Amino acid sequence: MPNFHHILIPACLSALLFFTVAAGSPPRSGDPPNIEQGSNSLRVMTFNIRFDNPADGANAWANRKERVASTVRFHGADIVGMQEALKSQIDYLAEALPEYGWFGVGRDDGKEAGEFSPVFYRLERVEVLAQSTFWLSETPMVAGKLGWDAACNRVVTWGKFREKVSGAVFYLFNTHFDHAGDTARVESAKLLLAKIAEIAGDFPAVICGDFNAREDSEVYRILSGRSATADPQKRIFDCRYLSQTAHHGPLATFNGFNPTPTPGRIDYIFVKPQLRVLRHGILAERWEEGWASDHFPVLAEVVIAPAQQ
């Protein structure tokens, strides 16, 4: 049986990455973290787990699945937005991680066909108040509809949550933009921002996923409000730049199962502007046998503001 023990860099063991959000102005980068003892922090992760493709050989799901489950478990993620998960992979993770619930639908039919972008959540920490899915297309509520010049159906899975201790209410949006269609990615960014405003309103929101776009792309400029066509009132903020502590890990999120990752980030965690971020990192952990996935997970920690009435 393969050895699944981690080869973890010491920094990863000494600093389990947290992403802490509270109401108020974005912090100055020099401010020290200020997590009071007993605060209701939540750890949020985005993780493209790579679909179960037998052609991946040594990197096939059967050889990686314990690494994926271990990554989620070890870092104590309270909410995980996954991408590329097939139903059989979700079934394995649900059994391996019984402390989590999950929701989502297959992108091909709105049921169980095709890849999911599921949201896993720790049952003891948060309660799901509402959840749904929309498609990244000209008809967002039509299941299985290709959008623009996309090669694949693409979805956004969202949930409305209540943190069980504080009662704080917030939203999470999890997505996977198309890898091939330039127009599809640009239009998906515009649609996502519009839907966040429509669904979440004034509530805090975290937005995560595989956006298949680097920081120098029009997609990133639209999301961050720096495009000429962007609506600055709808912009969202990259947690890397809001973090009060220095970024942890490489500035790369795609490794392609190669020893050296491809430079640049395509997987992100964003937040709405009223939220506050303490820590942010990319978890480049490698086992003796290889990576957990062809993407690195991104992790951050949040403290949700008091509940809105």
What does the pLDDT look like over 236-252, one tens digit per residue? Answer: 999 999 888 899 999 99
Nearest to 24 by CA among 306, 233, 279, 220: 306
**203 and 274 Cβ atoms separated by less than 8 Å:** no
Q: What is the pLDDT of residue 58?
A: 96
Average the pLDDT over 45-64 and give the result: 98
Residue 26 has pLDDT above 60, yes or no: no
Q: How many domains does one find in the chain? A: 1
Q: Are strands 290-291 and 169-176 parallel, antiparallel or unpaired?
A: unpaired
**83 and 120 Cβ atoms separated by less than 8 Å:** no
Q: Give the CA count within 13 Å in the CB-facing half-sphere of 125.
A: 21
Residue 26 lies in a domain: no
Residue 189 in 3-state DSSP?
Answer: helix
Q: Which domain holds residue 86?
A: 6-19+40-303
Residue 153 in 3-state DSSP?
Answer: coil
Nearest to 78 by CA among 109, 114, 117, 124: 124
Q: Which two tokens stand for residue 302?
A: 């949040």
Rounded-to-integer distance, Cα 78 and Cα 86, Å:
21
- Confidence category of residue 40, pLDDT binned at 50, 70, 90: low
Residue 30 lies in a domain: no
Q: What is the pLDDT of residue 273?
A: 79
| pLDDT averaged over every residue in the chain | 88
- Confidence category of residue 10, pLDDT binned at 50, 70, 90: very low
Q: What is the pLDDT of residue 39?
A: 61
Residue 16 has pLDDT above 70, yes or no: no
Q: Could you tell me the CATH number of the domain that includes residue 148? A: 3.60.10.10
Angle 57-292-209 (CA atoms, 0-180°, nearest 5)? Answer: 115
Nearest to 148 by CA among 158, 139, 159, 161: 139
Q: Which two tokens stand for residue 47?
A: 């993780």
Q: How far is CA 107 from the centre of its chain?
A: 17
Nearest to 6 by CA among 66, 53, 55, 61: 66
Residue 33 has pLDDT above 80, yes or no: no
Q: What is the pLDDT of residue 306?
A: 61
Residue 10 in 3-state DSSP?
Answer: helix
Q: What residues form DSSP beta bridges with 161?
A: 128, 170
Q: What is the pLDDT of residue 130?
A: 99
Q: What is the pLDDT of residue 42?
A: 84
Average the pLDDT over 84-103 and give the result: 99
**43 and 304 Cβ atoms separated by less than 8 Å:** no
Rounded-to-integer distance, Cα 102 and Cα 119, Å:
5
